[in-house]
């Protein structure tokens, strides 16, 4: 059971980093729209699944 948790741990860390970056971008960038933010978030998450 521990092996599975350790195996998925990098994915969890990557997911957390992607969500954190999206949040930071949404809070700090005044010119970004919700649609653009969602597009970037989807693209980043697809890379996580593919990679």
- CB neighbour list of residue 15: distance below 8 Å, 6 or more residues apart: 45, 48
Name the H helices within 1-51.
2-28, 34-50
- The span from the CA of 38 to the CA of 45, in Å, is 10
Q: Which residue in the block uniquely carries the two structure tokens 């997911």?
A: 15
Lowest mean pLDDT among 12-16, 34-38, 39-43: 12-16
Residue 43 near residue 18 (C-beta atoms within 8 A): no
For position 8, what pLDDT does the model report?
Answer: 55
Whole-model pTM: value is 0.69
Task: Provide the pLDDT confidence category of residue 51 given band limits of 50, 70 and 90.
Answer: low
């Amino acid at each position: 059971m521990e092996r599975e948790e350790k195996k998925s741990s990098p994915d969890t860390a990557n997911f957390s980093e992607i969500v954190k970056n999206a949040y930071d971008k949404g809070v700090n960038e005044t010119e970004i729209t919700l649609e653009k933010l969602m597009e970037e978030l989807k693209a980043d998450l697809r890379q996580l699944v593919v990679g």
